[in-house]
Amino acid sequence: MSKKITQKDINDAVWKACDTFRGSIDPSVYKDYVLTMLFLKYLSDVHDDKMDVYLKKYNGDVERSKRAMQHERFIVPEHSHFKYLYEHRNEANIGELINIALTDLEEANREKLYSEDGAGIFQNIDFNSSKLGEPKDKNQRLKTLLIDFKSDKLDLRPSHLDGNDIIGGAYMFLIENFASDARRIFTPREVSTLIAKLTKSKPGSRICDPTCGSGFLLIKAGEEVGTIISPYTDKKPMVVPGHWR
């Protein structure tokens, strides 16, 4: 790929994907589905990027490359991969297939995707919920969502991105716009950053936001402390859905 994918490319593509739900389902309902799909697509694309590196390193030896992948920061089971779900987008039980994919992704990464109280970060996300409409309408919405995320502008492999924390940026872009769309109070990015800096918290500190909404302030505080870590790297922050629930 000659042209790197920019922050704006991803923001525009993800926001367009919201059109699948807009007008028929309240943003407070569908935002979790879009944000979760963004996270799943990112993990899948990073997985593929790493796999390509190992295949090149081991001269195309698939089995050896798969064994090496088991030592990566995140494990992505085959049926939890975005590609698998996209290939099964026409199935009548696609909502159930996505739920299974998320559950098994959590199980494969318990130390990272489970909270201290033992709850998985996707526990409140049900892609088979009646909130998404009658079965026929729900299946069509989920199929369209998968097609939207298959866009070339949403190829989230690190080697294709113009920036190290571009996914975190897209996540913040969505949270900000969902809050605006629903006319809810949202602390501006600049204010959150300033407050986070003023706390001057040290690594290992426990930070409480008694009026936590989207969790943006806590995320910015985590970035300042340096405790929010992205998949496959120990350097850049990554927003993971459910961490503030």
Please check whether residue 117 lies inside any domain of the structure. Answer: yes
Asked whether the predicted pLDDT for residue 223 surpasses 80, the reply is: no
The larger pLDDT score, comparing residue 237 to residue 103, is at: 103
Unique residue bearing structure tokens 């920019």: 6
Asked whether the predicted pLDDT for residue 244 surpasses 60, the reply is: no
Residue burial 174-204, b: 16+ Cβ < 10 Å; e: rest: bbbbbbeeeeeebbeeeebbeebeeeebeee
Q: State the amino acid at position 218 in one-letter form.
A: L
Asked whether the predicted pLDDT for residue 230 surpasses 70, the reply is: no
Contact by Cβ (8 Å): 105, 113:
yes
Taking residues 186-194, what's their average pLDDT?
Answer: 76
Please check whether residue 180 lies inside any domain of the structure. Answer: no
Angstrom distance (rounded) from CA 223 to CA 106 = 23
Please check whether residue 217 lies inside any domain of the structure. Answer: no
Q: State the amino acid at position 239 in one-letter form.
A: V
Please check whether residue 140 lies inside any domain of the structure. Answer: yes
Region of residue 185 (left: phi > 0; alpha: psi -120 to 50; beta: else): beta
Q: 63-120: per-residue pLDDT in tens?
A: 999 999 999 989 999 999 999 999 999 999 999 999 999 999 999 998 888 877 778 8
The DSSP line for the chain is --SPBPHHHHHHHHHHHGGGTTTTS-HHHHHHHHHHHHHHHHHHHHHHHHHHHHHHHTTT-HHHHHHHHTTSSS---GGGSHHHHHHTTT-TTHHHHHHHHHHHHHHHTHHHHB-TTS-BTTTT--TT-GGG-SHHHHHHHHHHHHHHHTSGGG---GGGBSSSSHHHHHHHHHHHHHHHHTT-----HHHHHHHHHHH-PPTT-----TT-SSSHHHHHHHHHHT----TT-SSS----TTTT-
Q: Which domain holds residue 115?
A: 7-164
Asked whether the predicted pLDDT for residue 242 surpasses 50, the reply is: no
Taking residues 127-147, what's their average pLDDT?
Answer: 93
Q: How confident is the model at residue 237 (pLDDT cuts 50, 70, 90)?
A: very low
Q: 117-135: per-residue pLDDT in tens?
A: 778 888 889 999 998 889 9
Closest CA to 10 of 141, 122, 144, 148: 148
User: Residue 107's pLDDT is what?
Assistant: 93
Q: What is the mean pLDDT of the chain?
A: 82
Domain CATH number, residue 99: 1.20.1260.30
User: Residue 108's pLDDT is what?
Assistant: 93
Asked whether the predicted pLDDT for residue 50 surpasses 80, the reply is: yes
Contact by Cβ (8 Å): 218, 207:
yes
Asked whether the predicted pLDDT for residue 138 surpasses 90, the reply is: yes
Asked whether the predicted pLDDT for residue 210 surpasses 80, the reply is: no
Instruction: Please count the CA atoms within 13 angstroms of the CA of 51 that sit on its side-chain side.
Output: 17
Asked whether the predicted pLDDT for residue 157 surpasses 80, the reply is: yes
Structural domains of the chain, count: 1
Please check whether residue 232 lies inside any domain of the structure. Answer: no
Please check whether residue 45 lies inside any domain of the structure. Answer: yes
The larger pLDDT score, comparing residue 241 to residue 138, is at: 138
Please check whether residue 115 lies inside any domain of the structure. Answer: yes
Q: Write out the two tokens for 146.
A: 């998968």
Q: How confident is the model at residue 238 (pLDDT cuts 50, 70, 90)?
A: very low
Please check whether residue 105 lies inside any domain of the structure. Answer: yes
